[in-house]
Amino acid sequence: MLNIYKARKVVYQKLKRTLLASYPSFSELIGTEVFIKHENHNPTGSFKVRGAVNYMYYVPPEIRKSGIVVATKGNHGLAVAWAAREQGILCNVVVPENNNPQINKAIQAEGAQLIEQGVDFYEAQNYCEELAENAGFFYLRQGNEPEILNGLGTMALEIFEDLPDVEVILMPVGGGSGCAALALVAKSINPDVKIIAVQAEEAPAFYLSWKEGKRVITERALTFADGLAARSVFEVPYLILKKRVDEVVLVNEDEIKKGVNLALTLTHNLAEPAGAVTLAAALKMKEKLAGKKVVAVMTGGNINCEQLVEVVKSECESD
């Protein structure tokens, strides 16, 4: 925990605390008191910037000189680009071909060199390894870096400071770094708090790993919640999560879209699909949550126009 408190001092040099808010209409829908942790209010629109800010603070001189390279489909690359600019570090961001153009523009606006390579995130990762070997850049692997996890853990400190008697926390899982950091801190503060991981049915790598007791790599991960489209969780987060997650909930594509709509209509926030799965999960398991004090982490708000149109269209068709 000492490293988390140290990270908070670093993180707060660049970032402000994010809001923990309760919305009566959403709590009424779920049937219990629910608070939303608004990580979508961070400067880059997601929780990822906490880890990036903390990591960049500790980057040694040789890496500052050579520069870094990261692979991303969105929030991680944007967060690293933002934090690198704040520290004056050269940053190269590799995205898959046909990546979200809005995310690409946002990354470039932060001063990073954008490189389009590969058909998916995993091919982009492979290209990062080539650049690290041939061009001398340091390859920042997001999931296993201790200082990234320490930075991400600061959101859990804020939750317990604002709501000490929280009983259940709902957190999305893609690669697993955010949920792992949250679970590590939360269980250290209160071992009885329930950590519920939320995944997309179409990208269930952690759910399968949790059920089978070993890290599973799936053949595909294609979901509307593109921020959760991971074929596996990272190694270090898995080791943390397998001992600390109490339950894993899967939500389907329609439920994810419903979550985005709930964020928009009941909390007046734009949530990206990956950030809205906790709202969808709360609705899906409302009977289990009855009488509990619940926090749902809205991890990001970087929804693109096409996704938003699809959500609105889906909601109109269901009425």
CATH number of 2-47+147-318, picked from 3.30.1330.120, 3.40.50.720, 3.40.50.1100, 1.10.150.120: 3.40.50.1100
Residues 6+ apart with CB under 8 A from 220: 231
pLDDT tens sequence across 235-292:
999 999 999 999 999 999 999 999 999 999 999 999 999 999 999 999 999 999 999 9
2-47+147-318 and 49-144: same fold? Answer: yes
Distance CA 273, CA 245 (A): 22
Count the Cβ atoms, other than its own, within 10 Å of residue 19. Answer: 16
Class of domain 49-144: alpha beta
Count the Cβ atoms, other than its own, within 10 Å of residue 308. Answer: 16
pLDDT tens sequence across 93-146:
999 998 888 899 999 999 999 999 998 888 999 999 999 999 999 999 878 899
Distance CA 199, CA 127 (A): 27
Q: Hey, where are the domains in the chain?
A: 2-47+147-318, 49-144
Ramachandran quadrant class, 32 (left: phi over 0; alpha: psi -120 to 50; beta: rest): beta
Q: pTM of the full predicted structure? A: 0.95
Residue carrying structure tokens 């009566």 = 24
Q: Output the pLDDT for position 43.
A: 96
Q: Output the pLDDT for position 25.
A: 98
Distance CA 235, CA 38 (A): 27
Q: Output the pLDDT for position 319.
A: 63
Q: Output the pLDDT for position 120.
A: 85
